[in-house]
Amino acid sequence: MKLYHIGILDEREPILALRYALKDSVTEYREISYSNYVELNKGSNLHFEHYVITTIHEFNPDIIFIHAQSSDVLNDRLLLYLHQRNDIFKIGFSGDVREPLPNFYIKYGNHINLSLFTNDNDVEKCRSKGINSDFIHVGYDKEIYNTKGDVFENHPDIVFMGNNYGNHFPLSLDREKMVRFLHSNYGSNFVVYGSGWNTIIPYSKSLMFSHSEEAKAYRSSKIAINYSHFNYSRYSSDRLNRILGCGCFCLSHNYQNIEHDFIPNIDLDIFNNLDELKQKIDYYLQDEKLRKIIAKNGNKKIEQGYSYRNFAERIIRFYRESGIKKA
């Protein structure tokens, strides 16, 4: 089985675990990074589609895995070529969320076999436009986000990681209120990592693209907060996976249908408002035994079912279920 990966990886986000997982799931693997191609060509995507089409023609893959989150990656010529290759299973993926759903996902979806999203809302939007779409849970890198690495000395008990984008996304202001609330109530026992927080908490810093430091911070904390910019069905950023992967106890905002993947009070716990968040933080800081039991359950679940290995296995399953085979 051959797989061709068209991705948006770069030096800051090489997504090595995903690439290795895809490579290990097939007999032959090739990849092309749109981001690196543009950088090597001094900011131009000139002839990118020609390079990709030539590679597909020569490599003749069974699966084309397209990780694209902008309208630039697949131009009309490349989309037409993909549309005409009925012998190849073309699968698109985005772990990104935007409101409203950008039109290029609909355009792409009309030329590929399956569009995958990490939330049910975008799946339903695509299906309403006649696009074949499905849900897939975002993966995480088990080699980085695990329980075995280093920890910080004297780290605060409570941590939240995420950027402050003002009022850019539906829950952005709610996240800001939460950070202000936690800083006000817990002071130096709470730390936020991310950009845009300096006006609220001086000297806060971002660990974006510093994965080993992010994992170290989670391993050093007793409670990590999960709060995404959207309240979409089954949607969380990979922050949730990383928290659980590091063995930290997770308190998550009660996003729609979280129970489809994680059991509250068993794998993690949830909160619906800031008063409940404080109540549960105080409770779990006191009940160390229960906190550690839940953290261990969450770690076991995420390790067994939600890594990039599991993600790649799901991709292969989608291909086999499609019935598409080489002539």
pLDDT digits (tens, 9 = 90+) for 134-163: 999 999 999 999 999 999 999 999 999 999
* Mean per-residue pLDDT, 41-52: 93
- pLDDT for 106 equals 98
- pLDDT for 284 equals 98
Does the pLDDT of residue 78 top 80, yes or no? Answer: yes
- pLDDT for 208 equals 87
Q: How confident is the model at residue 202 (pLDDT cuts 50, 70, 90)?
A: confident
- Extract long-range pairs of 94-102: CB within 8 Å, 24+ residues apart: 94/67, 94/68, 94/69, 94/118, 94/122, 95/69, 95/138, 95/237, 95/238, 96/69, 97/122, 97/228, 97/229, 97/230, 97/232, 97/235, 99/169, 99/170, 99/230, 101/125, 101/126, 102/71
Edge-to-edge strands of the sheet including 114-117? 28-33, 2-7, 63-67, 89-94, 114-117, 133-135
Do 52 and 30 meet the contact criterion of CB atoms below 8 Å apart?
Answer: no
For the chain, give the percent of residues with pLDDT over 90: 94
SS3 134: strand
* Mean per-residue pLDDT, 301-327: 95
Q: What is the mean pLDDT of the chain?
A: 97
For every residue of 290-324, DSSP letters joined together read HHHHHHHHHHHHHHHHSSHHHHHHHHHHHHHHHT-
Q: How confident is the model at residue 72 (pLDDT cuts 50, 70, 90)?
A: very high
pTM of the model: 0.96
- Over the stretch 84-97, which tens digit does the pLDDT of each residue have? 999 999 999 999 99
For every residue of 165-185, DSSP letters joined together read -TTSSTTHHHHHHHHHHHHHH
- pLDDT for 203 equals 82
| CA dist., res. 235 & res. 254, Å (int) | 11
| CA dist., res. 97 & res. 234, Å (int) | 12
| Residue of higher predicted confidence among 87 and 325 | 87
- pLDDT for 18 equals 98
- pLDDT for 131 equals 98
Does the pLDDT of residue 114 top 90, yes or no? Answer: yes
| Residue of higher predicted confidence among 234 and 208 | 234
Q: How confident is the model at residue 318 (pLDDT cuts 50, 70, 90)?
A: very high
- pLDDT for 222 equals 98
SS3 264: strand
Does the pLDDT of residue 327 top 90, yes or no? Answer: no
